[in-house]
Amino acid sequence: MTSLADLTTMRVGGEPTRLVEAATTDELVELAREVTADGDDWFVLGGGSNTLAADEGFDGTVLRVATRGVERLDDVDGRVRLRVAAGEPWEDLVAHTVDQGWSGFEALSGIPGSTGASPIQNIGAYGQEVAQTLVSVDFLDAETGEFVRVPAANLGLGYRTSVFKRGRRGVVTAVEFALVDDGGTSAQVSYPQLATALGVGLGDRVPVADVRASVLALRASKGMVLDPADADATSCGSFFTNPIVPRQVAAALPSAAPRWPVDPEPEARVVPLGDAPAPPPPPSSGLVKLSAAWLIEQAGIGRGFRLPGSGAAISSKHTLALTNRGSATAADVAELARFVQQRVSAEFGVVLHPEPVLLGLSL
């Protein structure tokens, strides 16, 4: 029997009671209807790159999404619209769009997992996030049993979150995006480290292929691309989100603590299509985003840190990634995560929240 360790990039987790796989969208729709209605517990799994599964396994059905397909729809306002099957590997989709010279995904190169999962936590990296290009998702709502096309504006997309992460249950079967065709030119480079790597200024535009190459190189240097030869890549990527705290909490931290103002209205960042009016600029939120990596390091937990006897360790390249050094159990990973949370909380009074979805365990 296949265990969740075989299906997730952290490579921990026991067996599910039942595993079913959908290879076509018709199968996915049928299985989604079945598993969400039969009364047993269920879990949808894409690439397993943001799931930490319990050693005890899962008492229910795991529905694995292995559908493929990228359909080009009619352009609107000069934007290239794509409807993509939920199981399409995200990285293949990004490579395809960059090859076409379309802009919108180039900074999201190298993120593992499925396209259907991309709206779940509004994936983001190097100054881009899926909310900037997402138009809608096709979704079987488990509560109503209805199939709906939900516009991006109704998905509550924010920093590494959406209505799905906050409890709306169902199955995404396809995702629609709108990309920009600007003759192979990227979106404005908005991430300082990326601008430095490209040798350009913030706000500059460069060929999309250059952004993709730079992002892939930066990610590889941090163990943030899947690579069986790199022990630091057996992970869920960043294990903690950057904490968002009231301005007063941030003000009490040492002056060296990195901090960024937070946009209050994530929906305002959604791309308007057709006649939709441009969103107004968001007002100030009074919230500040902190660097989880900085807090962890300053709490005395460095790269490579490992608890005695544990098979899990902080990545040797990136403080935010918890990694399986080959023999880790989910319990090892959870113990390390709790230790990190406790140290940061004791040192700075800030609570770190896990980014991956925890299946059958809690911190």
> x-or-dash pattern for ligand FAD, window 104-143, by CB under 6 A?
-------xxxx-xxx-xx-xxx------------------
Min. distance of Cβ 110 from ligand FAD in angstroms? 7
Q: Does 47 bind ligand FAD (CB under 6 A)?
A: yes
Provide the angle, in degrees to the nearest 10, between the axes of the packed helices 90-100 and 208-221: 150
Out of 214, 238, 310, 315, pick the active-site residue. Answer: 238
Q: Is residue 238 annotated as a catalytic residue, yes or no?
A: yes
Residues 195-254 that bind ligand FAD (CB under 6 A): 224, 226, 233, 235-237
Q: Which two tokens stand for residue 208?
A: 């999309």
Q: Is residue 106 annotated as a catalytic residue, yes or no?
A: no
Min. distance of Cβ 347 from ligand FAD in angstroms? 26
Query: How far is Cα 273 from Cα 255, in angstroms, rounded to an integer?
Result: 42
Q: Which two tokens stand for residue 302?
A: 């460095």
Exposure string of 102-136, with b = 16+ CB inside 10 Å and e = fewer, is: bbbbbbbbbbbbbbbbbbbbbbbbbbbbbbbbbbb
Query: How far is Cα 258 from Cα 293, in angstroms, rounded to an integer?
Result: 10
Q: Is residue 11 annotated as a catalytic residue, yes or no?
A: no
Strand partners, 176: 83, 136
Min. distance of Cβ 231 from ligand FAD in angstroms? 12
Residue 237 or 311: the one with the smaller Cβ distance to ligand FAD is 237
Out of 160, 212, 219, 343, pick the active-site residue. Answer: 160
CA 197 and chain centroid, separation: 23
Strand partners, 306: none
Q: Does 50 bind ligand FAD (CB under 6 A)?
A: yes
Of residues 3, 25, 36, 51, which one binds ligand FAD by CB under 6 A? 51
Query: For 66, how many CA atoms within 13 A lie in the half-sphere containing its CB?
Result: 9
Specify whether the backbone of 132 is left (phi greater than 0), alpha (psi in -120 to 50) or beta.
alpha
> x-or-dash pattern for ligand FAD, window 146-185, by CB under 6 A?
-------------------------xx-------------
Active-site residue numbers? 160, 238, 355
**Footprint on this chain of ligand FAD (rule: CB under 6 A):** 9, 43-51, 65, 86, 111-114, 116-118, 120-121, 123-125, 171-172, 224, 226, 233, 235-237, 357
